[in-house]
Chains A and B, each alone.
Chain A
């Protein structure tokens, strides 16, 4: 989805939360997301909130960890002053951008700040995203020593031609190497794949899947390429230089992924995510889908605490300036109504393997489930046990399912 920020009410300058006394009762995990908004080059399909050195002007990447730590400290005060009890972080996730563009010591300092501020649960899941060509064995070992448990590599494809269309700079042969290093360092490994790149054949995709499976990762994400507005890829398609994505072919690819991954022992647990076992699922990402609390640190990062969603100013310069003057970087927020919360549950929980509690649905929504079963989109046995779980066909049509249920 686009990195353009949504609209909401203005967030308070000091970042304080509204009355959350009603949200105390529900026990939720607390996670921390740390955004690192830097990349060496911008990929043609990407519209994430990330910047190359030349796009940053006078800003220095080396100043960033201190800014992020300043927000962590601010967040600590805000949460302390809120109605919510103190909680240790159960997950921390470094995303980007390319977090591993920073020295491992920088990631370590930010993680240490989280640990000192809130504490980390004993079995906390601590992940960073990484570019296959941005890390070596030493780097990965240092991450492990700092407390990281997991690394997620942006493999995207095993086919050089496809990688070139995506502007990915790494050599596909680098991926098995970094995966092996990560294992050697003692980290769990996840691989990100992209399918549906213009010009990618079904055989190309099969090659990528087989290559990824052969590396025996713990976890795998497969995302259908989204042509985002304003990206180079969109312009290329508009000018006819690159063919537009083909939904039929993408559906075939999704089915192929599900088939090959199942055979290799991976189970889906979210529309685009598979894991070797339940323990290897991304708990951090699951927290997004199950309505838990998290604080997003960094420019453009989103947070959710006790039914309040907010998002930070987008540009690193604006972000740095806010924090330098002691103000919250939050740009705007929304306090979710009961209706919005219900819709979010339908939207998010219907995408996961654990499914959606049918009691969330209106009477009409419950009736719609019957048609979904009849059309082969919802699993009948789960529905009889009170949960909506999508079938393969249903996962491919998850947005249509949500529209059908939201009534």
Chain B
């Protein structure tokens, strides 16, 4: 007998007792998307013919990186013991930057599959999401994936999972998303273990938005989980945070292609289309009700997205500035957490100061700008939000070092995070050294298993956004994983360091650092620029300064020789063509005072890439 359901339950008419809402919690690369694909195939919602690897990850970047940025929900039919069920699989983002989005996805579920690579064990981000899931009282189904791999060590990691969630190692399911092994048993387990949703069918409608996605053809597609009451086509819906009312143009479920339905009832998961063009009108975490019979109270848990990391984005070719603006406007339609405002830089020209949820978010946005919109960009060093009080009692919020007040600063507050780092125990020393050098305060250490340790630190976010993750990876041969969450702010001894080229401030390199690190930063950046900026026809001093106090100095010696020795009949054409090419290259030069700096030098200095400048 095939466990595939003969006939799927009809949306809007499904009894909550036949519904199971669940998500999959997994680390990048642990095979969540592959497992999801296999479920789609085994439940028959995607024919084998249409199967495309990682069906749910729609965006190119997602597929390439094997990570899911935006979640979606799929409704799948499944039979167990002669009863038919509707399983809603809600795909969650897996990264720390998107903790809020994850928390809303989790709030839409009653249970979660905890998916762990049988060859690698659990990672910090998975732990973080597991904590969130347990905090939402979700039923956890522990699963080891990739058990077909030769390196799989299911006994060891079953033990680890069992210890973590307090079950027996025998309760840990073993599957292979790749071959489909164990997936049917997993679907059965979902039906058996995960509680059916509860809600009041007769109450005013309340649906929680767990995702909203901009689609260029259909406008914003809002994914919701019905909690109370029901929504029907042609209802006029109301967003409870803004009181905005919209016509409902379409309501339906994804299975996995969008399929219009007669509505959504208690416990169901589906999508709404209203013709709205901006995801800000449809905020994750908000509650949808009907205008005709609005609910009195919104569902709990809604917060406005708040950028944590700021960076300047500049087009390499200044004439691309309008295109960059247009591209950001477009991205904003689908990404409610992206903020930006125009900014100018002496070194980099016209650009935008953008706010992001975190470093990955920054990376994804810049990559999408480059890939989807064909823009070449420079990104300035990421900065966090500082609160600065001056002696005259004024207070400033500084998201860009150039906003740092010049007058007498009384105190500076910086954001802190609680970081947890998971790694094999051999690397504990290396990690502690790194965290200490980044002003971390150790809060404790847990052994997850004999071999694996979780370290807890409180650290300034500013230390994490600057190169911390790369350092962590390199010092642990890639074994450590990191998760962090905001943990308030603290006063710190912070100063602004400026970098001057021939006396001219190069704003893109100004940074706010701890006083003890100012000198090191000054030496590092002046040294880097000395290597990267080609020699000019005059000497160029490079200085690092706090206010008017110079803390480091380098200089680029004047170039004395730049001439082709021989220029005879056979050399003229080539030499002229070389000049024409160099003239093109000159457009990519930025002038800082009289100093010609190739754009590449700024980029390399900002990215820490200190390849020696090409010698002439």
Q: Which residues of A contact B (CB under 8 A)?
A: 1-4, 6, 8, 33, 223-226, 247-248, 250-251, 254, 271-272, 285, 288-289, 294, 296, 300-304, 309, 311, 334, 340, 343-344, 347-348, 351, 375, 377, 393, 395-400, 402-403, 406-407
Contact = CB atoms under 8 A, between A and B. Distances in A.
Contacts of A395: 563
Contacts of A254: 561
A288 B575 CA distance: 13
Given A247-B560, A311-B573, 6 more contacts: A3-B570, A247-B616, A271-B565, A296-B569, A400-B537, A403-B582
B538 interface: yes
Contacts of B575: 1, 347
* Chain A at the B interface: SS class: mixed
B189 interface: no
A300 B561 CA distance: 30
A300 B570 CA distance: 8
Contacts of B571: 1
B579 A397 contact: no
Contacts of B562: 396-400
B583 to A, nearest CB: 6
Contacts of A398: 562-564
B572 A309 contact: yes
Contact of A377 (B537, B567, B577): B537
A26 B538 CA distance: 41
Contact of B563 (A296, A397, A406): A397
Contact of B572 (A348, A377, A396): A348
19 contacts: A3-B570, A33-B569, A226-B564, A271-B565, A272-B566, A285-B568, A288-B572, A296-B569, A302-B569, A302-B572, A302-B573, A340-B576, A343-B576, A344-B572, A347-B575, A397-B559, A397-B560, A398-B564, A403-B579
B606 to A, nearest CB: 26
B580 interface: yes
Interface size class of B (residues with CB under 8 A): 20 to 34
A223 B566 contact: yes
A347 B572 contact: yes
B52 interface: no
Chain B CB count within 10 A is highest, among A2, A225, A226, A406, for A406
6 smallest A-B Cβ distances: which pairs? Answer: A251-B560, A398-B563, A1-B571, A251-B561, A302-B570, A224-B565
B574 interface: yes
Contacts of A344: 572, 576
B561 A403 contact: no
A375 B537 contact: yes
A400 B559 contact: yes
Interface in B582-616: 582-583, 586, 615-616
A340 B574 CA distance: 12
A399 B559 CA distance: 12
B292 to A, nearest CB: 69
A247 B561 contact: yes
B570 A296 contact: yes
Name the residue among B560, B565, B569, B586 with the largest chain A CB count within 10 angstroms. B569
B569 to A, nearest CB: 5
Interface in B152-183: none
Interface of B: 537-538, 559-577, 579-580, 582-583, 586, 615-616
A334 B573 contact: yes
A80 B566 CA distance: 32
B563 A6 contact: no
Contacts of B580: 343
Nearest to B594: A371
Contacts of A402: 579
Contacts of A399: 562-564
Contacts of A375: 537-538
A125 B615 CA distance: 40
Nearest to A254: B561
B573 A309 contact: yes
Contacts of B559: 247, 397, 400
Nearest to A311: B570
Nearest to A309: B573
B325 to A, nearest CB: 29
A127 to B, nearest CB: 13
Nearest to A8: B573
Nearest to A310: B573
Contacts of A288: 567-569, 572
Nearest to B571: A1
B569 A397 contact: no
A101 B236 CA distance: 97
A251 B568 CA distance: 21
B180 to A, nearest CB: 54
Contacts of A296: 569-570
Contacts of B564: 1, 226, 398-399
A350 B605 CA distance: 35
Given A396-B560, A399-B562, A1 B569 contact: no
Given A296-B569, A348-B567, A6 B560 contact: no
